[in-house]
Amino acid sequence: MKTLHVVIPDGIDDPLRPSGGNFYDRRVIDELTAHGWSVIEHVAPGEWPTPDGTALSALDSLLREVSTGSSVLVDGLVGSAAGEQLAAAADRLRLILLVHMPLGTSPGPVRDSEQAALGAATSVVATSSWTRSLLLDTYSLGAGDVHVATPGVDPAEPAEGSDTGTHLLCVGAVTPVKGQDRLVNALELLHDLPWQCVFVGSLERDSDFADAVQRRAQTSLRGRVDFTGPLVGEQLAAQYAASDVLLLPSRSETYGMVINESLARQVPVIASDVGGVGEALGATPDGTMAGLLVAERDTQAFADAVRRWLVDPALRTDLRQAAAQRRRSLPTWQQTCDAIAKVAAGAAV
């Protein structure tokens, strides 16, 4: 039996702190186990990716306790912030760094730490081709050492969709990166049209920002928006099932797992054209996208895209048909697992 140690940040199973990275880690662990791997989980205590000295010392002790020669998959939220600790373990462990989102995009101590972590790794796994390219452009890495394991998605029943297309959905922790402030600004330009928008996601990651967004929305869009907080499982599935279109106004995304979740239910997407969003949205065999991409900084353009969706039945039909086709070609979690298993097996040689 092949054995893989996995280092994950504390709280990945906390329903109050759902995230794409946490869900990805859990699904990979479960899939590898189901496919015959012995997976040994190690939880790194602390606040990652901004650990204090206690968290770094705990990680160092954790790695020292892993048997020499073992293969260790380290979540990048932990590993990229602990380059010194990974470098110290590199001479006796076969480290694989799993990078959901590079941390060191600007020069400074964080980049230095991430460079050390990447240099300590036998292999690197990025969760999108866009992220892989960013890593290769930013750091001195061998192209053959950086692999891609795209997030999968579970099959889901298609959403029925309404005739009017007025049920709007935004999924993501309410933070500046996810851009809900810009979405509120865009929706304010659509007062003349009927619609309702549900915001699903944590209100605690950046409580000051979330409070400000809610105050603005509840003042200018009173009665038309609902902030549910974080939802998982059947409650989240019910929100997708009741929606007509997913709105993703992010300032940054390395992929956008919520896009897969939406398309799995045949729900089109209107999103900021950032990072790996276009990769996640993909296209049908004839090149049609199941959604609309908008320049990231253009609030008016985002509002215009939502307006087009709301007033043009033919556009809604076309995008729903494209979503139905894209739904059939979405990546699976087994494919994700296979990609990581291939890297892990190589690291174990």
Quote the pTM value.
Answer: 0.93
Number of domains in the chain: 2
CATH number for the domain spanning 266: value is: 3.40.50.2000
Q: Which domain holds residue 306?
A: 167-327
- Flag whether 160 is in a domain: no
Strand partners, 246: 169, 269
Q: Which residues contact 183 (CB under 8 A, 6 or more apart)?
A: 170, 197, 247, 249, 302
Whether residue 341 sits in one domain with residue 320: no
What pLDDT is recorded for position 232? 92
d(CA 30, CA 150): 16
* pLDDT tens-digit map of 165-197: 999 999 999 999 999 999 999 999 999 999 999
Instruction: Write down the residue that tokens 């979330």 correspond to.
Output: 210
* pLDDT tens-digit map of 102-135: 998 888 999 999 999 999 999 999 999 999 999 9
Whether residue 103 sits in one domain with residue 18: yes
Neighbours of 68 (CB within 10 A): 9
Res 346 pLDDT > 90: no
Whether residue 100 sits in one domain with residue 134: yes
What pLDDT is recorded for position 18? 82
Please give the angle made by the CA atoms of 297, 263 and 306, to the nearest 5 degrees: 40
Whether residue 262 sits in one domain with residue 210: yes
- Flag whether 117 is in a domain: yes
The answer to whether 333 and 152 have CB atoms below 8 angstroms apart is yes
* pLDDT tens-digit map of 28-49: 999 999 999 999 999 999 999 9
* pLDDT tens-digit map of 2-28: 999 999 999 888 887 888 899 999 999
Instruction: Indicate the range of 120-129, 214-223, 339-348 predicted with least confidence.
Output: 339-348
Cα distances (Å, whole numbers) of residue 266 to 19, 215, 218? 22, 32, 30
